[in-house]
Structure 1
Amino acid sequence: MMKSLIYIGVFFGLSACARSGQPLRTGDLLFQAGRESAMGGAIKAATGNDCELQFTHVGIAVIGDRADSVLEATSDGGVRMTALQEFLNKSARPDGRPLVVAKRLKDTAGVAAAIARARTFLGQPYDYSFRPDNGKLYCSEVVRESYLAPDGSRIFPARPMNFRAADGSMPPFWSELFAKLGEEIPENVPGTNPNDMARDTALTEVFRWF
């Protein structure tokens, strides 16, 4: 969510993944342009680009024989497993199709280990503070902490977070949220967001639903 802040119709099913790409695999990252909400609007204002799709959420695909799910951190449930269909239903849906894009690491050697790490975060609360190492996680933070290079470093970099809109103003949502938390807005604290992560050169697009 944000510009180096933290910053997912008709569902055709995995059998229809030929619509616009390859079948999903466990470990694919699902980038979502969410429906309008106060938080989504604030994220979009901080990370948006009028010329590109603006992602406000990301989850990790977990594809199984019986059910397909998404491991995600949500503001209403913390880190949890969500049915893939439910995840798609939460996205913006122009023309009835979810604005969700699946991207895959070009080097998939460490994906199994990443999923194992991601599962250890299940049950952790959502990180409204957007600060590192506080026992809480936001959506792109789950991904960053799960996907590591062979040397143990994180594949996705943290960058100074921006909570301000393009005109330099601070969206009321952030001011009100951090006032309630009794914390300062973590402007310039290192973090991640779905928009930046989706454009990382370590990823390649494999499927989209629209």
Structure 2
Amino acid sequence: MRSLLYICILFSAVSCGRNLPDLRPGDLLFQAGKTSEMTGAITAATGKARQLNYSHVGIAVPAGGADSVLEATSDGGVRMTALADFLARAQRIEGRPAVVAMRLRDTTGVTAAVARAATFLGQPYDYSFRPDNGQLYCSELVWESYLAPDGSRLFPARPMNFRAADGTMPQFWVDLFAKLGEEIPEGIPGTNPNDMAHDPQLKEIARYY
């Protein structure tokens, strides 16, 4: 009994006794990240009222029980992360990770998408949020990797918005782009986890909370 209690505590992030998702390679894991200046600025610009607002997305790469996530992060660029570490970075809903697993309704090109995503390992994080600059942010990694049969991007890019709902520009973006010596890329085509999570091509398969 004591050993079982220990295991429950150790794995509380995914809730002892709870059915975990049967992940397949290429499933997308949408995460509501813990509060930070960056996640706050992202959700201020892309979040919606009365719904879980995602600030990050990664690509599931399950292999022999040692599940991993291929992701682009601000502290490591494009890298492979243990699923447990990915879940640990999420906000908590009743003690569980605020992460939702989604799968393409048509999985025809998913294997090729995962292979394509792996070729980006080691690329730096795209603080500029601009396309085709040799750097990638989280949803940009997905956007670059998942292609339609004709070679076009599977997920649409839309004019980016960096402003909060009240029209103000979060100070985080002002300071970041001033440091980069660049204009804020307001209106330049791009992607974000919130929009991507609501794409009709995806279906929710499980929640970790």
Equivalent position amino acid for 1:29 in 2: L
* Cα pair distance change 1:139/1:14, threshold 3 Å: farther
* Larger CA Rg, structure 1 vs 2: 2
CA distance 1:14–1:81, change in 2 (3 Å): farther
**Root mean square deviation, CA, Å:** 1.4
CA displacement at 1:94 relative to structure 2: 2.6
Q: Which runs of 4+ in 1 moved over 4 A?
A: 12-15
- 1:16 equivalent among 14, 19, 23: 19
Instruction: Tell me the SS of whatever aligns to 1:118.
Output: helix
Aligned to 1:187: 186
Distance 1:87 1:48 in 2: 21
The equivalent of 1:42 in structure 2 is 41
1:10 Cα offset (Å): 2.4
Q: CA deviation at 1:12?
A: 4.3
Counterpart CA distance in 1 for 2:82 and 2:22 is 17
1:46 match: secondary structure = helix
* 1:3 corresponding residue in structure 2: none
Q: Deviations over 1:47-75 (max 9, x none)?
A: 11112110000000000015110000000
| Cα contact 2:15–2:96 (8 A) shared by 1 | no
Query: How far is the alpha carbon of 1:11 from its aligned partner?
Result: 2.0
Which residue does 1:101 correspond to in 2?
Answer: 100
What amino acid maps onto 2:168 in structure 1? S
In structure 2, list runs of 5 or more residues that go unmatched.
1-11
2:76 maps to what in 1? 77
Aligned equivalent of 2:126: 127
What residue in structure 2 maps to residue 6 of structure 1? Answer: none
* Distance in 2, Cα, partners of 1:45 & 1:186: 16
Offset at residue 13 of structure 1 (A):
8.2
SS across alignment from 1:10: helix
Aligned to 2:167: 168
| 1:61–1:68 contact (8 Å) kept in structure 2 | yes
Give, in whole Å, the separation in 1 of the partners of 2:201 and 2:186. Answer: 26
Tell whether the 8 Å contact from 1:79 to 1:124 is kept in structure 2 after alignment: yes
Q: How many percent of aligned residue pairs carry the same amino acid?
A: 69
CA distance in 2, matches of 1:61, 1:151: 24
CA contact (8 A) 1:14 1:24 kept: no
Q: What amino acid does structure 2 have at the position aligned with 1:104?
A: R
What amino acid is the match of 1:170?
M
What is the CA–CA distance in structure 2 between the aligned matches of 1:207 and 1:201, rounded to whole Å? 16
Structure 1, unmatched stretches of 5+, are 1-8
Alpha-carbon contact 1:130-1:186 (below 8 Å) kept:
yes
Judged with a 3 Å threshold, the aligned counterparts in structure 2 of structure 1 residues 88 and 130 are, in CA distance, closer, same or farther, namely same
- Cα separation, partners in 2 of 1:47 and 1:14, compared to 1, 3 Å: farther
Contact 1:158 1:192 in 2 (8 A): yes
